[in-house]
Structure 1
Amino acid sequence: MTFDMGVLLETQRLLLRPFEEGDAADVLAASHDPEILRWMPWAPAQTAETALAWCVTHAHADPTLGVNFAVVAGDRFAGTVGLGRTDWADGRVEVGYWIAPWARRKGYAVEATRAAAAYAFEKGLHRVELLAAVGNLASQGVAAKAGFTREGVLREAMVIPAGRVDAVLFSLLESELT
């Protein structure tokens, strides 16, 4: 099994598309945001070169393992959503996301997460998991609003710039995506 290369997903307000070279400046700018610096382990070391490498190479890695989408609202880069840690045999995948500061509190993360989950189910996966740091209440709110069920806390299961932290595990089953 594999995800499709070059796939486009559309929601009511968003386009989820493959990353492009032109997204690098927006990725770099977002990496300087205090909230992204707080939660994303890659952000403190982000440079123009690493942002470009992400957009043209790493975001398009092995489609058997995952897929990453640039989230576009109107004609503006709003963030990213991706599916990774895919286990085709067990039918599960993990979804992750971040949203640029200007695009927060508009429901874009919820909308993009649900679209990515729907795509995972279309590809035959049974379960979409989402991990959020215990202290990241905004991300936990996205999970809840997207219809995910909180299952429990995984001890020291996530690395953020400050170190290892506990993570809340959420999941969504295909039958729950309405």
Structure 2
Amino acid sequence: MTSTFPDISINTERLMLRPFEEADAPELAAMMSDELSIAWTSAPLPYTRREAYDWITRRAPAERTEGRGIVLAVTEYLTHRLVGSVHLMNTDWRVSSTEIGYVVGPWARGEGYAAEAVQAVAQWLFRDQKFERLELRTAAGNTASQQVAQKVGCVSEGVLRNALIVRSRTEDGGWTDIRTDLIVWGLLPEDIEEAPYHHRRPADV
């Protein structure tokens, strides 16, 4: 039997992390069409509203039901505005380990939302799901993502040389794929500082 994550929402002081809804498609498409999102993720290019809708209604839910991970929309608690996304993936249930990825929309950067969301997910993962390891991988040139990893307490565990393909602008304004090194970060339960958060299942709403 395949293990799966529960269908949950996680709240912090400023954020609500919840499953994506169909109404999020326009903001998700805008977020994934941003220059930094294009450069540092493997999202389809161009990222259309149709692509966003397919991710929200089909592919993201399958991540959870098939046991690979879970995808959560990151929204501001007071305004309900979509500000980012957190994705647990490559989950290994036998060793209680998973990998986390995150994206923040250009309209919400500089607020510390990525670190707050990652910390909340990590605490939930360790405390409630009894996981023993959370892994984070960042491109060598993605300093913003590396700062998030450091802020939440991740330990740099090494470099995978030439292990990642990212996108770079070309002289004519297009995009081209280039290879780069990949930094591997690890987070264990004892590495993370406790911060207030709570989670609920849909039935608790």
Map of 2:116 onto structure 1? 111
- 1:173 aligns to 2:188 (yes or no): yes
- What does residue range 118-157 of structure 1 map to in structure 2 within 5 Å? 118-121=123-126, 122-157=128-163
Once residues 56 and 159 of structure 1 are traced to their aligned partners in structure 2, the CA distance between those partners, rounded to angstroms, is 27
Match of 1:160 in 2: 166
The separation in 1 between residues aligned to 2:189 and 2:53, in whole angstroms, is 34
Matches within 5 A, 1:40-55: 40-55=41-56
* Alpha-carbon separation, structure 2, partners of 1:119 and 1:155: 32
After TM superposition, give the deviation of residue 12 of structure 1 in Å: 1.1
> Contact conserved, 1:82 with 1:116, CA < 8 A, in 2?
no
Offset of residue 33 of structure 1 = 1.2
Q: Is the 8 A contact 1:150 1:168 kept in 2?
A: yes
Which piece of structure 1 moves more, 162-171 or 11-20? 162-171
Query: How many residue pairs align between the two structures?
Result: 177
1:35–1:84 distance in 2 versus 1, CA, 3 Å: same
Distance 1:142 1:58, change over 3 A: same
- 1:57 partner SS: helix
Q: Does 1:66 align with 2:69?
A: yes
Q: Cα offset for 1:166?
A: 1.2
Matched position secondary structure for 1:3:
coil
Q: What does 1:12-91 correspond to in 2, within 5 Å? A: 12-63=13-64, 64-73=67-76, 74=78, 75-91=80-96
Whether the 8 Å CA contact 1:95–1:117 is kept in 2: the answer is: no
Instruction: Supply the distance in 1 between the matched residues of 2:125 and 2:39 (Cα, whole angstroms).
Output: 28
Q: Shift of the alpha carbon at 1:141?
A: 0.5
Pick the structure with greater CA Rg: 2
CA distance in 1, matches of 2:85, 2:63: 17
Shift of 1:146: 1.1
Structure 2: gaps of 5 or more residues: 168-176, 194-205
> Sequence identity of aligned pairs in percent?
39
Q: Which structure 1 residue ranges, 5 or more long, are not aligned?
A: none
Deviation at 1:77, TM superposition (A): 0.3
Write the distance in 2 (CA, Å) between the matches of 1:158 and 1:95: 16
C-alpha displacement of 1:143: 0.4
Encode CA deviations 1:16-74: one digit per residue, 9 max, x unaligned: 00000011101111122111111112142311211111111111114211001000013
TM-score, normalising length from structure 1?
0.94
Partner residue, 2:5: 3
**Which AA in structure 1 matches 2:102?**
Y
What's the CA shift string for 1:130-159, capped at 9, x where partnerless? 000000000000100111111111123323
1:100 aligns with 2:105: yes
